[in-house]
Amino acid sequence: MSTQTRSAVKLCCATCGQMNRVPADRLAQGPKCGHCGDPLADGRVFELDRLSHDKAVQGDDLPLLVDYWAPWCGPCRSMAPEFKKAAAELAPAVRLAKLNTEDHPEIASRARIQGIPALILYRNGREVARLAGARPARDILAFVRQSLA
């Protein structure tokens, strides 16, 4: 019997808010939430609410890039497909999520969002970097990679 422990990462399920421990070497295999069965790190952008935002920002072991946006914002809507492309390329090492600032103004205020779209990269419960304005996928990828280097 081996006494070696496997390295695990904590991930918040965007659907149910449950925190999950996932073996780090299994991230690329499409881990699912132990509570609701939804994917945890499959390269899709997930929508955050107040509870899941705070749990994911503070509890996730993987870097988390959050797009603060609103449905009435033209640049936000035009950037959405580019954000999805970046999410697919960065998975499973980085998770990407969106927070509707119109539905959750208290979160936007706490995050000091002054204009949208605004991208904030979090790691280990702290803001690492932020980027304002609509960007193509290649700029989003460069921003994340440079900020985590």
Question: What region, left, alpha or beta, does residue 124 occupy, with left being phi > 0 and alpha being psi -120 to 50 degrees?
Answer: left
Q: Report the 10 Å Cβ neighbour count for 71.
A: 10
From CA 140, how far away is CA 14, in angstroms rounded?
Answer: 21
33 is catalytic: no
73 is catalytic: yes
From CA 119, how far away is CA 86, in angstroms rounded?
Answer: 12
SS3 at position 130: strand
Starting from the edge strand earliest in sequence, which strands make up the sheet with 118-123, in order?
46-48, 95-100, 64-69, 118-123, 126-132
The residue from 12, 13, 33, 76 that is catalytic is: 76
From CA 135, how far away is CA 142, in angstroms rounded?
Answer: 11
Catalytic residue positions? 73, 76
